[in-house]
Amino acid sequence: MTPVPPQGRGATIPLAAWLAAMLACGGALIFFLFAGMNGHIGIPELVVCTIGAFLLAGYILVIGYIYGDARRRGMNAVLWALLAFFAPSAIGIILYFILRNPLPIYCWFTTVIRIAPCAESM
């Protein structure tokens, strides 16, 4: 696969992952807030559910980071994101960070994508 050039600062996590994380966290918070207002759950449970909603959003962002970083490194992004999502006990996430390819260097004076530093190719 061809590596995707960097799109700017903070562009490693795709916009869809940010939106999914905000939707999941916001939806969970609204659901638990209404459940708390109706008296179905108490304050301690509401705090635990709020922490769980933020952890869910963080997990979605980590999967999004793996997808974006794998694309940037020229790896199979969908495969790594699915492995990180479905592997139990975060084994897929740990494997990705151990086995990922080195980051390609984009030389300004050529259109060739190199793994070695640009100065050596002059």
Running along the chain, 122 residues long, what does each successive block of 10 average in pLDDT?
61 89 92 80 83 93 95 92 92 94 72 56 46
- At 39 the pLDDT is 77
- At 48 the pLDDT is 87
- At 116 the pLDDT is 54
Give the chain's count of helices (H) and strands (E): 4, 2
Q: Is residue 52 part of a domain?
A: yes
In sequence order, which residues have a C-beta less than 8 Å from that of residue 89 and are 6 or more positions away?
A: none
**Domain boundaries, position 84:** 15-121
Q: Is residue 85 part of a domain?
A: yes
Q: Is residue 97 part of a domain?
A: yes
The Cα 18–Cα 85 span in angstroms is: 16
- At 93 the pLDDT is 94
- At 7 the pLDDT is 60
- At 107 the pLDDT is 65
Q: Is residue 45 part of a domain?
A: yes
The model's pTM is: 0.77
Overall number of domains in the chain: 1
Q: Is residue 104 part of a domain?
A: yes
